[in-house]
Amino acid sequence: MSSSLDVVTIGNAIVDVLSRAEEDFLLAQGMAKGSMALIDEARAEALYGAMGPGVEISGGSAANTAAGLASLGGHAAFIGLVRDDTLGTVFAHDIRAAGVAYHTPAASDGPSTARCLILVTADGERTMNTFLGAAQNLTPSHIDAQVIVKAAITYLEGYLWDPPAAKAAFLTAADIAHGAGRQVALTLSDAFCVDRYRAEFLDLIRRGVVDLVFANEAEVKALYETADFDAALIRLRAEAKQAVVTRSEKGALFCANGAVVSVPAIPVSEVVDTTGAGDLFAAGFLFGHARGLDPASALRLGALAAAEVISHVGARPQKNLADMARESGLLR
Amino acid sequence: MSSSLDVVTIGNAIVDVLSRAEEDFLLAQGMAKGSMALIDEARAEALYGAMGPGVEISGGSAANTAAGLASLGGHAAFIGLVRDDTLGTVFAHDIRAAGVAYHTPAASDGPSTARCLILVTADGERTMNTFLGAAQNLTPSHIDAQVIVKAAITYLEGYLWDPPAAKAAFLTAADIAHGAGRQVALTLSDAFCVDRYRAEFLDLIRRGVVDLVFANEAEVKALYETADFDAALIRLRAEAKQAVVTRSEKGALFCANGAVVSVPAIPVSEVVDTTGAGDLFAAGFLFGHARGLDPASALRLGALAAAEVISHVGARPQKNLADMARESGLLR
């Protein structure tokens, strides 16, 4: 059966609150720069009170990827849970306005819509503090089988392993996708996330629950508990059916069946905010992969989308990525 | 008595929702490009549904001016009304985090916090649609006399003339300020606003309720119902005790007692979003004026603050304006 959707992404539905911060502020607040930490509502309120003026922009890793896919002209859907509150309304508006199919009903009770307090330092690096809120109540009942079956690829974020109920939703989606002959992709999301769930992530890869793994250098090293990237990559190549590894300014590579294809990064005049870099790289690669492009072309689309998103504040594209890809000769 | 506050600004407490839009969208929605239109909640919801993905950033003309004053190192306070809802919390957090004293208690019932749907076209021009919400319920009871008495200048936005109850608050504040020997400033806000309230604004100027008027070219022409800027300026010079007129890339001028001082605009490499340009010009000038700088120096601070805010999305400064002013030799 042909797929009428390129990709459905499943993840935490989050509104980001971005604020400029000094390195000293991160230190004083005990944050590991560049990481994602889970926080409860009380901590979220205390931190919000201490941080500077903010900008609210819809985020969420897999949701950003879906928005990127739509900007490239792809057919994308997103599954994730918000509350029926103001931020939930904002999240739903923004992802639909981006051209993504989004039909998960908002929760009418329970915790409020998830938010991620993001401190952006002068070097453009982001440090994230996530209050999962309603997103943590995603369950198998929210997985719309009709959407999964229609999508060439079901893409899951590693962060979904944090909310216990969402793990079951994750596995339900993977089962449905494989039952329909589709591919399942997983991003490892964050090195600290890998530290929390290393054994489970390795199990998902080894058992073939995941056909395509996305990771950055730090996550691959965390997965195999080594500081030696090359050693970690050898193990990933041996264990994963297919993998995409992003290396920031060193470019990115794709490996499958022992072969490796790599492409350089696209230079950016000023890195303003790295929030969403990995999410948008995944969007570009997934679009190319779902449309049957060769791996190098798919990687180049990933590099293009990542370069756009790090050149401004916020984790979703502000320019039309399809136009940019056509101007660069990557799409016709 | 010496003033422990440089400026208190009074205006509509608003959260902006900024979105990129094509010129065709403005036409289809019947909007006058560059203007501010008042809309009701139903229209706000319909327009929000039709517009693209948004970014939520605290705004409000006089509130932006207060944030700019604080960024310059000034002592600023703001008076304006929000509801005790999510956007109200965002507004209060952002203005306090910017260093502005803000103590107007949030309304516990009535309409929700004001929001302004802002469409930004490719040329950086903004077209605004404001749902006044809670802001329209500002009354004289919200005017904290102790704050007004402490401030060298009380600054009012012309938009305050839209909510009927706020007019009385405006006049109460002006009376208190003059009773304490302070100055009262008014921005005309918007040419369409001037069209609505021309006779009343002229009356405020002629009766001396206002000591210092801020206007842009379009507003001065609207005030005197002429397309001839020079003719309009002659009349403003004759009627206003003091006036600041901003002319976008043509610079700005200050007139008092028949004399005129003008300064050029500061060139900007790319005009990204003009939202807040007038508000930040006012911040720079007011800071200089309150600190006793000569008019040309105060105008230059205005030009500097305006140049910063039009170079990025959002109506409040993202860089420290005091640092920028020191680097430019405008402050020590």
Report ipTM (2 d.p.).
Answer: 0.90
**What pLDDT, on the 0 to 100 scale, is given for residue A258?**
80
**What pLDDT, on the 0 to 100 scale, is given for residue B282?**
98
Residue A184 lies in a domain: yes
Contact A56 B53 (CB under 8 A): no
Contact A94 B54 (CB under 8 A): yes
Contact A274, A310 (CB under 8 A): yes
Residue A124 lies in a domain: no
Tokens describing residue A74: 């792809």
Contacts A54 to B, Cβ<8 Å = 90, 93-94, 97
Cβ count within 10 A of residue B145 = 15
> Residue B14: enclosing H or E segment and its boundaries?
strand B14-20
Residue A258 lies in a domain: yes
Rounded to the nearest 5°, which phi and psi values hold at A313?
-75, 135
Contact A54 B94 (CB under 8 A): yes
Residue B114 lies in a domain: no
Mean pLDDT of chain B: 96
Contacts A51 to B, Cβ<8 Å = 97
Contacts A20 to B, Cβ<8 Å = 318
**What pLDDT, on the 0 to 100 scale, is given for residue A164?**
86
Contacts B67 to A, Cβ<8 Å = 53
Low-confidence ranges of chain B (pLDDT < 70): 1
Residue B54 lies in a domain: no
CATH code, B216: 3.40.1190.20
Contacts A85 to B, Cβ<8 Å = 86
Contact A53 B90 (CB under 8 A): no
Residue A162 lies in a domain: yes
Question: How far away is chain A from the Cα of B57, in angstroms, using its nearest Cα?
Answer: 5
Counting every residue written for chain B, the total comes to 332
Residue A221 lies in a domain: yes
Q: Where are the alpha helices (DSSP H) in chain A?
A: 23-28, 41-50, 61-71, 86-97, 145-150, 164-179, 191-206, 217-223, 229-239, 277-290, 295-309, 321-327
Number of structural domains (chain A) is 1
A-interface mutation test, from B17, B56, B83, most A Cβ less than 10 A away: B56
Share of chain B above pLDDT 90, in %: 95
**What pLDDT, on the 0 to 100 scale, is given for residue A3?**
81
The sign one gets for the Cα dihedral B157, B273, A88, A102 is positive
Tokens 């040419």 -> residue: B191
Contacts B93 to A, Cβ<8 Å = 48-49, 53-54
Residues 6+ apart with CB under 8 A from B36: B116, B128, B129, B130, B159, B189, B190, B192, B193
Contacts A318 to B, Cβ<8 Å = 20
A91 to chain B: nearest residue by CA?
Answer: B53
**What pLDDT, on the 0 to 100 scale, is given for residue B25?**
97
Contact A48 B93 (CB under 8 A): yes
Tokens describing residue A234: 């050898």
Question: How far away is chain A from the Cα of B87, in angstroms, using its nearest Cα?
Answer: 8
C-alpha–C-alpha distance, residues B142 and B166, integer Å = 10
Q: Which domain holds residue A80?
A: 5-12+61-85+135-327
**What pLDDT, on the 0 to 100 scale, is given for residue B257?**
86
C-alpha–C-alpha distance, residues B135 and B112, integer Å = 9
Contact A66, A7 (CB under 8 A): yes
Residue B46 lies in a domain: no
Q: Which of A20, A55, A95 has its CB closest to that of B57? A: A55
The sign one gets for the Cα dihedral B194, B195, B199, B200 is negative
Mark out chain B residues that contact chain A at CB-CB < 8 A: 19-20, 48-49, 51-58, 67, 85-87, 90, 93-95, 97-98, 313-314, 316, 318
**Per-run averaged pLDDT (10 residues), chain A, 332 residues:** 89 97 95 94 96 96 98 98 97 98 98 97 94 96 97 96 92 97 97 96 97 98 97 96 96 93 94 94 98 97 97 92 96 90
How big is the CA angle at B72 (ends B166 and B211), to the nearest 5 degrees?
45
Size of interface A-B (CB pairs under 8 A): 56
